[in-house]
Amino acid sequence: MVRPGVGEPTDEARLRRYLLALVERRAAPVHVAVALNAAYFGFDTDAAGYAGGPLDIGDFPSVALGDEMEALPVGAMINVRTGGDLLPAEIVYKEGAHEALGVEGDIPGWLSGAPAGAQGPDLFDGAKATSLRERLVFDADAFGAGLAASAARLQRLRRRGTIDAHGSLVVNSLYDRSGNGLPESDLDDTSYYLRYLTTRGRAQLDSSLAPMPLPLMLPPGATPQDKEAGLRNLVNVVRRALVSLPDIRLWGEYAFTRTSLADRLVDGGPLGSDGLETLARSVARGAAPIARRGTVVRRRPVYIALGPALCSLPDAARLMRGTRYPSAVLHANAVLMDYIRREADEKTGLLPTGVRVTLDDRWQGGGVWRAEHSGGDAASEVLREVSERPAGQGWAECRERQAPAAPVVVPEPGAPYPVMLWPDEPDLGEPVLVHEGPGRLEWQQPLRARHLEGDYLPMPPAAATGQGSAEQAGRAPLDCSFLRPGPSPDVIFRLEHANRPSSVQRVRMDEEGRLVGLHWPSTCFPGILLDLAWQRGSRTVEARTTALLRPRTVDGESIDYRYDQRVYTRDAAWLWPPDGTPIDRARWLVMTAVRRFGLLDVIGRAMLARELLAPSVPLVMTDAPEHPTAERVGAAVAELLAAGALTRLHGSRDDVGPPNYPARLGERIIELLCYTPQVVEGRPRGHRETEGGTTPVRAKAVHHVPGFLRYIGHLGYEASPEQRRLFRQDFLKFGLVGSPELPPGYTYVRPHRRGS
């Protein structure tokens, strides 16, 4: 297991070798979440399972065909409810299984790229919990031969209707809104699995029976936010290792070997090269114009879902069962993408027939592809890259047909400072009270760029006026005689920063309730968080910054201190300077416009309506001698999208207001350009420098091994009474969760030391 942030060459090489063996050994393509499971819980690639691992199968959620239940992510451990013995399994793949999907892959356009809550082309409610019909593909062999389901048993389950004809579980999954207000259904599979591990799956994550539980990887006193960051860093380590493997190919977050794809292409069966190439050509032909009585009739865009389309091929249904289903679907997506890249024009993305085929929805039906004829005007088709990023045009176009276009409100770019297209978020960067007592006031506040440039700091109203909530509650008001606006004695501002002795400055408060005359250290940046306190009757305001447990790199810039992600996105946009070339300057203007004027969410994403980009770019630098042309801005957007610096989302907007994301019922659907901070966690503090580079301070050769469960049922053995007693004893001693009784077929290995 690799600890968060550790990237030693030997560790990375060992992890890559392990993941390659894992992908080669697993029956289905390996999702990043499943790869994390394997590394974290100790999947044995030789035994092909978690046999003897630290997982209590009795605690897994129970699932059956047709259940309506709280949504489960890829990577979740489950028990398939068979009516008899437990059938433990791991969810290795899932996709949308909407009732509107046709048996041959036909799908209504509005469903392609539709957000959760969409009931039709004219009915959408994104404000409530939603139920999505999903296909869950599980691996019943994931826990070793002793618990694996035989082919005969799976066949019986199919005949009894316990699982469907494809050996999957089709369920209605209930999604709620996440803690930050965003719909859980909008999270990608990996992010939703991380949320699952930190909520419903927390006991599994924190189990002391895991080979190296996450709490033991973190320093003492780590907060829940540190735990979440550590978990996300583990995922990033695994993902980077998978991406770096030359023998592995990824489709989305799923990894499979290039050898398995090559084997499929030389297969003469219905899902081999001929079948998949025929499917690719039929998708392209579906949108080609047809001649009727001398008149060319142009067809509407055609949408096809690959999962049902593959199952409809002659003799293919029998090859689309169990874990073979995701293998065929993901291979087909890769083959179709390769076909388009090989046959399409590299500039326009058009096939020789004038048809453009694009991925429109990655989730529904195993992947929805869109085919549309250009209408013969190929000259106008420029800068249409062939991308694996789904476009979601089906839903967007359907919504645009439901509502008339709203006028674009263009602000006047006459002010010396960039004018917001709408008021900035009112709470952005505002002081947040942490404690307000009769004798002390504590608050937290991020520094805005204007604070750093103007050498000042606004004070919260409770400090600037003395009329805080304590007085309103009937308690004695704070004595703020030294902090009131207007002529007053000097205020002492004491700042503790960068692990250096506190710096002391004498400042004053102006009529607007701001401390003015401050000199900020050069290492302070927009968004850095200050913890501030003021004691009753004192002239001193105390402030301090807090170093991150693991330094970060955000978009290439080093961040060493806790910071507000939204403020950093908004105010640090200028930190990405152009190199002087016209096209790079255009990219910088586009990126800065999105960050400066886009709608912010709680994780620091900025989303700007595509239709508002043109009036936004000139406002970034109002005093520039000239602004880039519309063509250059369009080229810059295409390059940023291709590079992944920007992504596309779909929101909504009324006639004059800012965009909304997710889309709101009754508003016009619009395309959003989305900036997402690229965050890379660094190594934990406490590493030391050597001549060869940075290395962790290593522990002694002797190391502690936590207690864990070992499966012995396949040998015909059961745990002895002594081991059962020891497990109950340690269960109470370490405060474990679950049952204090050993599950059938398992014994207990006590904590011990290993090494020389």
Which run of H or of E encompasses 357?
strand 355-361
Q: How far apart are CA 84 and CA 232, in angstroms?
A: 37
Least-confidence region, from 9-13, 100-104, 141-145? 9-13
Rounded Cα distance, 662 and 672, in Å = 11
Q: How confident is the model at residue 403 (pLDDT cuts 50, 70, 90)?
A: very low
Angle between helices 273-285 and 258-265 (to 10 degrees): 80
pLDDT of 411-470, one tens digit each?
444 333 334 444 566 678 788 887 777 778 888 899 998 898 889 998 887 665 554 444
Read off the pLDDT of residues 622-665 as tens digits, 9 standing for 90 and up: 666 677 888 888 888 988 887 778 888 888 887 666 788 777 76
Predicted confidence at residue 407, as pLDDT, reads 39
Residues 6+ apart with CB under 8 A from 247: 20, 257, 258, 259
Peptide bond into 426 cis (omega under 30): no
Which structure tokens are listed for 136? Answer: 């869950």
Q: What's the rounded mean pLDDT across residues 397-401?
A: 64
The pLDDT assigned to 135 comes to 96
Chain centre to alpha carbon of residue 733: 37
Contact at 8 Å (CB) between 217 and 699?
no
Residue-level pLDDT at 148: 65
Least confident of 91-100, 546-555, 581-590: 581-590
Dihedral angle over CA of 220, 226, 232, 237, nearest 10: -40
- Phi-psi group of 108: left, alpha or beta (phi > 0 → left; psi -120 to 50 → alpha; rest → beta): beta
> What pLDDT does residue 113 have?
87
Residue whose structure tokens are 């499917």:
279
Average pLDDT over residues 4-31: 82
Quick one: pLDDT at residue 479? 46
Percent of the chain at pLDDT > 90 equals 21
Contact status, residue 237 vs residue 2, Cβ threshold 8 Å: yes
Structure tokens at 484: 């009131």
Judged against a pLDDT cut of 90, whether residue 117 lies above it is answered with: no
324: enclosing H helix or E strand: helix 324-343
CA distances from 671 to 380, 393, 436 (A): 21, 9, 44
| Mean pLDDT value of segment 585-607 | 86
Cβ-Cβ contacts under 8 Å for 474 (sequence gap 6 or more): none
**β-strand pairing of 77-80 with 62-63:** parallel
Mean pLDDT of the chain: 77
Please give the pLDDT value at position 753. 55
Has residue 526 got a pLDDT over 80?
Answer: yes
**What burial letters (b/e) apply to 275-296, b meaning 16+ CB within 10 Å?**
bbeebbeebbebbebeeeeeee
Residue 255 is predicted with a pLDDT of 96
Compute the Cα dihedral for 370, 371, 375, 376 and give only its sign: positive
Q: Which of 146-160, 246-260, 405-419, 652-666 has the highest mean pLDDT?
A: 246-260
The pTM assigned to this predicted structure is 0.56
State residue 258's pLDDT score.
95
* Average pLDDT estimate for 310-331: 90
Instruction: Identify the band that residue 575 occupies on the pLDDT scale cut at 50, 70 and 90.
Output: low
User: Higher model confidence: residue 239 or residue 1?
Assistant: 239
Identity of the highest mean pLDDT range in 156-160, 400-404, 425-429: 156-160
What domains, with CATH codes, occur in the chain?
A: 258-402 (no CATH), 432-551 (2.40.330.10), 566-681 (no CATH), 699-754 (no CATH)
Lowest mean pLDDT among 44-53, 107-116, 291-300: 291-300
- Cα separation, 360 vs 398, in Å, equals 13
14-24 in b/e burial notation, b at 16+ Cβ within 10 A?
Answer: ebbebbbebbe
d(CA 280, CA 303) in angstroms, rounded, equals 13
Average pLDDT in the 326-349 region?
A: 89
Q: Which of 3-17, 312-326, 394-408, 667-681 has the lowest mean pLDDT?
A: 394-408
Q: Which residues contact 185 (CB under 8 A, 6 or more apart)?
A: 71, 115, 116, 117, 130, 132, 175
- Of residues 455 and 214, the one with the higher pLDDT is 455
Least confident stretch, 69-73, 425-429, 469-473, 566-570: 469-473
pLDDT at 147: 63
Least confident of 182-191, 564-573, 691-700: 691-700
Q: List strands edge to edge, sheet with 169-175.
A: 62-63, 77-80, 87-96, 130-139, 169-175, 68-70
What pLDDT score does 419 carry?
A: 41
CB–CB of 456/515 below 8 Å?
yes
Q: What is the DSSP string of 425-455?
A: PTTTT--EEEEE-SSEEEEEEEPPHHHHHHT
- With residues binned 3-state (H G I as helix, E B as strand, rest as coil), the percentages for the chain, rounded to 5, are 30, 25, 45
- Tell me the mean pLDDT in the region 488-510: 84
Residue 213 · residue 231 · CB < 8 Å? no
Residue 679 pLDDT exceeds 60? yes
The percent of residues above 70 in pLDDT, for the chain, comes to 75
Provide the pLDDT for residue 416. Answer: 35
